[in-house]
Structure 1
Amino acid sequence: METKSSVSSVLLVLSLYSMLFNFGLGSPASNNGKWKLLKKSIGVSSMHMALLPNDKVIVFDRTDAGPSNLTLPQERCRKDQICYAHSVEFNPGNRNFRPLTISTDTWCSSGALSQNGELIQTGGYQLGERVVRHLKPCVDCDWIEEQNGLNVPRWYASNQVLPDGRIVIVGGRFQFNYEFVPKSKLYSLPFLVETRSSAKVPNNLYPFVHLAPDGNLFVFANDRAILLDYVKNIVVKKFPVLPGGVSRNYPSTGSSALLPISLVGQKSTGTNYQAEAEVLVCGGTVPDANLKADAGVFVPASKTCGRLVITSANPKWEREEMPINRVMGDMILLPTGDVLIINGAAKGTAGWGVAREPVLSPVLYKPGNKKPNRFEILSPTTIPRLYHSTAHLLSDGRVLLGGSNPNANYNFTALYPTELSLEAFSPPYLSPSSKSRPVISWVRPGLELSYVQKFVVRFRLNYEAEKIYVTMVAPSFTTHSFAMNQRLLVLDTGNVRKSSAKKPGSKSNYYSVESYAPARPELAPPGYYLLFVVCEGVPSRGMWVRIKK
């Protein structure tokens, strides 16, 4: 990619997003979305959230904040006789939940799903700062804690699954380095020292980490980024500073997403396919906003966003503005390829009691549209989701929201009380006025895929469809406004066939579409993905598939 001219790179990007727009990724919403309260209380505030391949959602809080509103069975009380749960498994299908047991503190920790679908959760506070925790997607499974799984303490670090199946952990408070799970060598990363000193306050915690299509890591901290070869421990590219004087990482806390990666054209090039990749960074605030908020001065959050083609030979930030100022907003990739920006506040920063003016309306960002037609304000919730709130895409296409606790413990009389509820937001594509959803009936040869493998997806519709494409979404680990390991791939497809046979009395049309799995693990690390068929801008329910090395 480095040998391409800047003109060539720009043309490729324009071509990519033109293609995405034509496929319907930029199609206008027919309404503004819908909210539904799923559970008034699960007893635990959702500081961290992850979706497992069995469609169960794992949510958990810190363990040192005193009593939660959920008790453990007596036989699972900790040795110090503390019998409060700080983690639950939630089933979105029937809204049931069960308490889980965590012994060490998970405050401001990180995580990712392994290639086997196991939740790997790293770090935390005090006795939890070097712990690696494991939770398998099975009936009645509980947390298993590896007490010395990390080389150094990890508090406010970020994780990313790698092409070889390992998980990298980057940064954390006073940790200017990175390491891996399984545990191995520790590597220095001076970039984290430089970005901290440039802001004069620690605005580089929870750095934004994305896996680039060449296998290197894009690491963003404060207002700048590098491309890191983590194997050789060398910086292969320094990106321009994102202008504007805004810090984007904790406690200024903007958010970031790797925009959809198009694999269209891969079938003709196979493993040599060169994918373009673009990163979006939005929100945050000025570097000293946290200090001012501690003194009672709540600075307005930023509206600004930056888009950067990280695979370009001459990358430059493209700036634009959200319709709403936002700090602590979550960016969630939807199956269509659009980005939902949700949660957060219009003033202040992340931290205890230092944000004001909750932003109740999510915003839909359509990367395939041209400026200024990329943003759309959606229907508001009634529940503020501030510090320590989370969001996650579900397999049915809704987005699950939980948490918000800008208090040092569980406090239900504060200005912004501790929030124990879970609610779901249905994006506009699920509105009654939208076309009905495609329904996947099978994937052949099966749900386990090899790299560059051709497979066929069969689905049914009750109308004639023209705009059809297939996406794969990697499940994320979300906390502190960053969805770690989030990734969406627009798959290369071949023939789309409509079956001439119909069941008696059925209004459904049956289709099959040839698709091609990603060519190599740098494009899609091994593990579980949600497979969606999108017709006329409306996604099916996701089906779990697994890419194996």
Structure 2
Amino acid sequence: MAASNVAVLLLLAILSSAFTTAHGQILHNGRWKLLKRSIGISAMHVALLPNGKVIVFDRTDFGASNISLPSERCRNDPRDQALRHDCWAHSVEFEPLGRSVRPLTVLTDTWCSAGALTANGTLVQTGGFNDGERAVRYFSPCDGCDWVEDEEGLAVKRWYASAHVLPDGRRVIVVGGRGQFDYEFVPKEMSSGAASTFELPFLRETKNASENNLYPFIHLSPDGNLFIFADTKAILLDYEHHRVVRRFPEMPGGISRNYPSTGSSVLLPILLQHNVSGAIEAEVMICGGAMPNASSLAAKGRFLPASNTCGRLKITDESPEWTMEKMPMGRVMGDMVLLPTGDVLIVNGAGRGSAGWYMGREPVLHPVLYRSGVAGVANRGFEVLNPTTTPRVYHSTAHLLPDGRVLVGGSNPNIKYEFSGVMFPTELSLEAFYPPYLGAPRRPRITGMKPGTEITYGERLSIEAQLEEGVGEEVVVTMVAPAFTTHSFSMNQRLLVLEVGGVRRSSSSRGCYVVEVVAPASAVLAPRGYYMVFVVQEGVPSRGRWIHVM
């Protein structure tokens, strides 16, 4: 990284070394902690299960990993391009609190695949490369469970596709992939004469010389349709009737946002208090990326600067227009993580180049916090946070944990595992980033929830929590869906700000309050499944409590 860039980043870090909540509580700018020097594999794909454990995997054709399978579980695969008799694990189960690692057996190649959690907490994982192109894999949240694979679970090959769970919590839609300009459902459509795949010409329209339409960004709109973004364009898809119901304005600036000019995207927090028109609003935010030719030029040794722009689009407006903002630094291959406060953490990535083997330069070590204005801080804006010492570029990941930390891992821009003699060695480590709110001297604590952890739509909930006294009783309650993270996009990531009906003191103990909230009204707002609930006071969240929306 150039010396001038380092000086600018240090100055920004100093200026943003702390920020203050509305009642004067100072929250410092985050810290890093190494959780595990090696989990044996590189964290290319990450999913959090409702038992609190994290499923991590990379690909089967890297060759030998650094963690072995029990001898009776070796895989024999004549189609594997690296190791046909393979006694090494390429997937693990990681327990964040105890930091234990359990090797798992995945048989088909998961390279650049997709996934989502269904209503019962099962991870449904789709596609990949070589013998995994049509595979659907299942992992249940139970002790001792392992992968169950269906090698023909998809109708067509899906490599670099995206997936999203649908409101019923049972079906998953899988969109696009290299050479695929359509979508399908898991489980497959079974009715007589029904098509297995459905054409989506939008994906052809957004394919340019470097593609830049792979891993399209997908978000479920409050009207039940799917927002799909690729390259610079976006549509609203009625997936039930297989028609595009809306085309949005093109994102200005000429920056490609999808793989390999990889930016990232989130659906900003959905406030369940209705606006004056009685509607629920939804706003998408997309940050980073690169010029459309960044990948082809990087292959020739010329590394273009990454974009420092973000765009926000209210997809529920009658006439939406992009609002453009600038991040403190450019970033390609960054991960956007919704925090329990409703703020957005942007972490990982590079300042030049594109996604792909050896294609990135100038790793961005400083995370950035984008304040959404939901809890504790009124104004939107960016804060530069404390840097990591570990570059995490291509094939890196970041994921929210129930205790409010962010799990950060991966980074392998090499064709196989390389630990020396390369610009960016393969990373097998996992770190935890502690956002600024974890520097607070006290944080709320959920002590009880009625009627329980299983809730229905529109139900009234009473959450008992220990809150700080003397700074006001106003609280925010958020509900966060666990995501599936790979290639700078957290599929199915979703945060809802629940309607608070009142806050009253509890008679049970000093500092204890009862927060009355209303569950989301329908499955298009919150697809059936598991969520983490957080009580947030003055910008500081409690630990998450798992609930199951039935």
The answer to whether the superposition gives a TM-score over 0.5 is yes
- Residue 442 of structure 2: aligned partner: 436
CA RMSD of aligned residues (A): 1.8
Q: Residues of 1 paired with 2:94 and 2:481: CA distance? A: 19
Deviation, structure 1 residue 367? 2.0
- Residue 451 of structure 1: aligned partner: 457
The amino acid that maps onto 2:429 is: S
Q: Secondary structure at the match of 2:75?
A: coil
> Is the CA contact 1:26–1:366 (under 8 Å) kept in the aligned structure 2?
no
Q: Secondary structure at the match of 1:430?
A: helix
- Residue 544 of structure 2: aligned partner: 542
- Residue 492 of structure 2: aligned partner: 485
Distance 1:316 1:457, change over 3 A: same
Deviation, structure 1 residue 200? 2.8
* Residue 350 of structure 2 corresponds to residue 341 of structure 1: no
Q: Residues of 2 paired with 1:27 and 1:246: CA distance? A: 39
- Residue 191 of structure 1: aligned partner: 202
> Is the CA contact 1:25–1:337 (under 8 Å) kept in the aligned structure 2?
no
Q: Secondary structure at the match of 1:55?
A: coil
Deviation, structure 1 residue 26? 13
Q: Residues of 2 paired with 1:144 and 1:158: CA distance? A: 20
The amino acid that maps onto 1:523 is: L
Q: Residues of 2 paired with 1:248 and 1:500: CA distance? A: 52
Q: Secondary structure at the match of 1:281?
A: strand
Q: 1:61 aligns with which of 58, 61, 85?
A: 58
Q: Residues of 2 paired with 1:174 and 1:411: CA distance? A: 30
Counterpart mapping for 1:167-246 below 5 A? 167-184=172-189, 185-196=196-207, 199-246=208-255
CA displacement, residues 187-230 of structure 1 (integer Å, 9 cap, x when unaligned): 1000000010xx33200000000000000000000001000101
> Is the CA contact 1:29–1:429 (under 8 Å) kept in the aligned structure 2?
no
Per mean C-alpha deviation after superposition, the further-off stretch among 26-35 and 205-214 is: 26-35
Deviation, structure 1 residue 163? 1.1
Q: Residues of 2 paired with 1:103 and 1:394: CA distance? A: 28
- Residue 106 of structure 2: aligned partner: 102
Deviation, structure 1 residue 372? 8.8
Deviation, structure 1 residue 30? 2.0
> Is the CA contact 1:273–1:519 (under 8 Å) kept in the aligned structure 2?
no
* Residue 144 of structure 2 corresponds to residue 135 of structure 1: no
The amino acid that maps onto 2:34 is: L
Q: Residues of 2 paired with 1:65 and 1:193: CA distance? A: 31
The amino acid that maps onto 1:250 is: Y
Deviation, structure 1 residue 65? 1.1
Distance 1:124 1:25, change over 3 A: farther
The amino acid that maps onto 1:451 is: Y
Q: Secondary structure at the match of 1:296?
A: coil
Q: 1:44 aligns with which of 41, 44, 51?
A: 41
Q: Residues of 2 paired with 1:27 and 1:194: CA distance? A: 51
Percentage of matched positions with identical amino acids = 61
CA displacement, residues 90-139 of structure 1 (integer Å, 9 cap, x when unaligned): 00010011100001000000000011000110000010000000000000
- Residue 523 of structure 2: aligned partner: 521
Distance 1:412 1:202, change over 3 A: same
> Is the CA contact 1:471–1:488 (under 8 Å) kept in the aligned structure 2?
yes
Deviation, structure 1 residue 27? 9.7
The amino acid that maps onto 1:100 is: L
The amino acid that maps onto 2:51 is: N
Distance 1:349 1:104, change over 3 A: same
- Residue 410 of structure 2: aligned partner: 403
CA displacement, residues 270-297 of structure 1 (integer Å, 9 cap, x when unaligned): xx96210000000000000100000000
Tell me how many residue pairs correspond in the alignment: 512
Q: Residues of 2 paired with 1:286 and 1:293: CA distance? A: 11
The amino acid that maps onto 1:545 is: I
Deviation, structure 1 residue 380? 0.1
Q: Residues of 1 paired with 2:435 and 2:23: CA distance? A: 14
The amino acid that maps onto 2:96 is: P
Q: Where does structure 2 lack aligned partners over 5 or more consecutive residues?
A: 1-20, 77-83, 190-195
Q: Residues of 1 paired with 2:318 and 2:476: CA distance? A: 29
- Residue 471 of structure 1: aligned partner: 478
- Residue 4 of structure 1: aligned partner: none
Q: 1:157 aligns with which of 128, 151, 161?
A: 161
Q: Where does structure 1 lack aligned partners over 5 or more consecutive residues?
A: 1-23, 503-507
> Is the CA contact 2:273–2:280 (under 8 Å) kept in the aligned structure 1?
no
